[in-house]
């Protein structure tokens, strides 16, 4: 009883879950992206490496420079290891990698760098850094490429064995001739599922590898599995309704789910916790809204692809999903009934749209 340590006063609770850290969560996303990345490099060769490196470096370096400038403006002494720098918790790295994987393989490097830097600055740092951003940095950067540099972002399609449609993606074909079965000859479903020999963005061609990443994230509980499930299911059901109306086969909804960025966006971009709602039911509703907007853009919009746009659009509505007057942390009977009503209305809108427009 001779030894008495200093007794420090704290407030309860005194324990923390040891494995719950931001680093673990973000590192898991990087690990889940590895198969997709490897496949992109295998598929598109050295150009994929350049684009991915450019995307990651543009975001990480921009973040680093931004924090150094802020510190300078606050008249703090210069340090190489900045205190607010967030590379150590992988967040900028994750944004950069996701951004790189959404790009087309023919995108020039300078376009990648300019959009990446602007993307992380405008989406993340203008709003106050990690945890404060409204928009998903990767999605915003991708949209900057799509809008500002649309003509540069081409699909070179180094993939050899597609005949006749070199340079065109599945969705491009689908957008030009919406309801024709002819495209099935060029893009069989197994190819869309595995991504072998399919043109498209670096990371989004292989649904199989994305699923492997999703399962890893799900097992490690590093993302909210309800968002991608609701998202993909919504696209599938809405496309299924259209298929029934037009007398198309099961290939039509499957094509919508497997092609383009739906799988990739649902698993890796929509689940970004910072830019998604906070409670369990809100997240399901959010996934549904994303699927709906994506499908509407694809079907009625001029663009072949709607995933990043729908993510940015729904990002704006996240605070209203969490609004205190109607948000509740558990599923309620009333909420579920309302949600069912909204689903019915959504289906009706799609059917009416297809009837009058399509």
Partner 1 sequence: MIKKSSKVRDYKELTKALPTMDFLEPESVYIHLQNGRCKTYDLHVKDGDHVTVGQVIGVRHGGFFEQPIHATVSGTVGPVTKKLHRTGRKVDCVEIRNDFKETYHESVVNRPDHVIDQLTQQEMVDILREKSLVGLGGSGFPTHIKLATKDPIHTVIINAVECEPYLSSDYRLIIEDPQRVLLGLKYILQALKAERGIIAIKSDKNPLKEVLDQVLTVKFPDLPVEVMKLGNHYPQGWEIEVFRAALGLDVPYGELPTKYGVISFNVSTTAGVHDAIKYNLPVISRYFTLTGDAIEFPQNYHVKVGTSIKQLIALSEGYKEEYDKVNVIMGGPMMGVSTVSDDVIVSKTTTSVIVLADTDYHEEPCVRCGSCVYSCPARIEPVQIMNAVKKNHKELMKQLGAYKCVECGLCAYVCTSKIHVTDYVRKAKKLVGDIR
Binding site for partner 1 (CB under 8 A): 1-17, 19-22, 24-25, 89, 129-132, 221-224, 273-274, 276, 278-280, 283, 322, 324-325, 327-330
CB of 1 to partner 1, least distance (A): 4
153-162 core/surface letters (b: 16 or more CB in 10 A; e: else) = bebebebeeb
Classify 193 as helix, strand or coil: helix
Of 191 and 283, which has the nearer Cβ to partner 1?
A: 283
Residue with Cβ nearer partner 1 (4 or 74): 4
CB closer to partner 1 out of 65 and 280: 280
- The answer to whether 305 and 298 are in contact (CB under 8 A) is yes
- Nearer to partner 1 (CB atom), residue 158 or residue 226: 226
Q: How far is CA 340 from CA 78, 132, 347, in A?
A: 56, 32, 11
Q: How far is the CB of 22 from partner 1 (least distance, A)?
A: 5
CA–CA dist 354, 358 (Å, integer):
4
In whole angstroms, the minimum distance from the beta carbon of 347 to partner 1 comes to 29
Structure tokens at 202: 């670096």
Instruction: Rank residues 66 and 155 by Cβ distance to partner 1 and give the closer one.
Output: 66
Residues 6+ apart with CB under 8 A from 163: 186
Distance CA 37, CA 23 (A): 20
Residue located via tokens 């928009």: 135
Q: Which of 103, 290 has the CB closer to partner 1?
A: 290
98: which 2 tokens? 């996701």
Nearest-approach distance from CB 218 to partner 1, in angstroms = 10
- For residues 22 and 233, which CB has a smaller minimum distance to partner 1 in the complex? 22
Question: DSSP state, 81?
Answer: S
CA atoms within 13 Å, Cβ hemisphere of 301: 16
Q: 7 vs 182, which CB is nearer to partner 1?
A: 7
* Count of other CB atoms within 10 angstroms of residue 127: 13
- Nearest-approach distance from CB 20 to partner 1, in angstroms: 4
Tokens of 312: 């940015």
- Please report how close the Cβ of residue 101 comes to partner 1 at its closest, in angstroms: 21
CA distances from 342 to 149, 300, 329, 351 (A): 36, 20, 20, 14
Least distance to partner 1, CB of residue 225, Å: 9
Closest CB 129 distance from partner 1, rounded Å:
7
Closest CA to 25 of 84, 83, 88, 89: 89
């Amino acid at each position: 009883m001779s030894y008495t340590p200093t007794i420090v006063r704290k407030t309860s609770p005194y324990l923390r879950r040891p494995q719950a850290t931001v680093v673990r969560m973000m590192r898991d996303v990087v690990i889940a992206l590895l198969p997709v990345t490897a496949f992109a490099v295998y598929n598109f060769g050295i150009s994929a490496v350049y684009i991915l490196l450019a995307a990651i470096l543009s975001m990480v370096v921009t973040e680093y420079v931004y924090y150094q400038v802020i510190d300078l403006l606050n008249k703090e002494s210069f340090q190489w290891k900045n205190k607010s720098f967030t590379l150590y918790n992988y967040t900028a790295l994750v944004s950069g990698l996701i951004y790189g994987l959404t790009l087309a393989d023919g995108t020039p490097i300078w376009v990648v760098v300019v959009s990446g830097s602007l993307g992380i600055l405008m989406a993340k740092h203008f709003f106050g850094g990690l945890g404060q951003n409204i928009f998903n940095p990767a999605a915003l950067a991708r949209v900057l490429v799509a809008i500002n540099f649309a003509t540069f972002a081409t699909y070179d399609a180094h993939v050899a064995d597609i005949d006749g449609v070199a340079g065109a993606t599945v969705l491009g074909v689908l957008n030009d001739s919406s309801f024709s079965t002819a495209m099935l000859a060029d893009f069989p479903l197994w190819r869309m599922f595995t991504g072998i020999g399919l043109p498209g963005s670096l990371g989004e061609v292989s649904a199989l590898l994305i699923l492997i990443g999703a399962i890893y994230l799900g097992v490690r509980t590093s993302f909210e599995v309800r968002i991608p499930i609701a998202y993909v299911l919504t696209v599938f059901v809405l496309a299924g309704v259209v298929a029934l109306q037009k007398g198309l086969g099961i290939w039509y909804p499957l094509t919508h789910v497997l092609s383009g960025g739906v799988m990739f966006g649902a698993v890796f971009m929509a689940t970004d916790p910072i830019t998604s709602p906070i409670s369990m039911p809100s997240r399901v509703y959010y996934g549904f809204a994303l699927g709906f907007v994506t499908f509407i853009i694809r079907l009625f919009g001029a663009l072949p692809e709607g995933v990043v746009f729908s993510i940015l659009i729904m990002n704006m509505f996240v605070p209203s999903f969490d609004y205190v007057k109607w948000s509740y942390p558990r599923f309620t009977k009333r909420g579920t009934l309302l949600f069912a009503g909204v689903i019915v209305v959504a289906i009706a809108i799609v059917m009416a749209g297809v009837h009058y427009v399509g």
